[in-house]
Amino acid sequence: MNTRGRAWIRAIMPPILYSAYRQWRRPRPADQNGDSQIESHRRAVGGVWDEIGELQFDFMAQQGLRPDHRLLDIGCGSLRGGVRFVRYLGDGHYYGIDSQQWLLDAGKRIELARAGLADRTAHLLCRDDFDFSVFGVAFDYAIAQSVFTHLPWNSILRCLVNAQKALKPEGRFYATFFQDKTGESRISPLTHPIGGRVTYPDRDPYHYEFDVFEELARRVGLKVDYIGEWNHPRDQMMMVFARR
């Protein structure tokens, strides 16, 4: 807001309200998770910026991700995990895809620059159809963190069809999901013990029984193994897909 606008607001507001307005407008410090409360591109991907970003990176490194590998980050958003992957991987070995261009732009212009990585090559693409072939490369690893949690099963199937084509023969695709562990929430909401998130069987955010993914993987020529707990702060479970 320019100076004239601020002067107009001050003129029409009682002093007490103007003071409260100034407090609201003032940049606020990061919260305990390292999330800036005024940065919409961080809020849009769920916040918990540092914790989940580091969790993704540490997990993938433990699974064998090396700097010379090519990584596909599905639903990369504003690069919560991407910043760490770009720093670690060889230049040009990070590929991110998301359905929202403004998040990709924020990740590139704000987050990579903030991390001193503005000169690194990160291949970022806005698409909502999971067509990974446009990158023109095969991937050693792929990750979809908190993507299937927002998708109905037929959209997950589309993603798996394209992931199967994009992976190298020995490639691995890691994905998280909200799990109905007992099968008792097939038509009812489920409140998760960690994080308290409420999920649903038929609307976003979705929960699934694991055998749903076993069936979807079978249909597209993949196999899937259950990993389960991986210290996610919102109780998302981990699984890994690979070629049969």
In the numeric block, the tokens 């980050």 are attached to: 73
CA dist 22 → 38, 130, 168 (Å): 14, 44, 54
Identity of the amino acid at 148: F
- Please tell me the distance from the alpha carbon of residue 26 to that of residue 140, in angstroms, as a whole number: 44
Ordered by start, the domain boundaries in the chain are 44-243
CA 154, 159, 162, 164 torsion: positive or negative?
Answer: negative
- Please tell me the distance from the alpha carbon of residue 143 to that of residue 151, in angstroms, as a whole number: 15
34 phi, psi to nearest 5 deg: 85, 15
Burial of 93 (0-12, 13-18, 19+ CB in 10 A): buried
Q: Which of 162, 161, 169 is closest to 140 using CA atoms?
A: 169
Confidence at residue 8, expressed as pLDDT on a 0 to 100 scale: 52
Q: What is the DSSP letter of 202?
A: S
Strand partners, 178: 207
Q: H/E element holding 11?
A: helix 3-12
- Please tell me the distance from the alpha carbon of residue 53 to that of residue 47, in angstroms, as a whole number: 10
Mean pLDDT in order along the chain per 10 residues (244 residues) = 51 54 40 49 71 91 97 93 94 96 92 94 96 98 96 98 98 98 97 95 97 98 98 95 96
Q: What is the DSSP letter of 104?
A: H
Q: Which CATH number fits domain 44-243: 3.30.70.260, 3.30.428.10, 3.40.50.150, 3.20.20.70?
A: 3.40.50.150
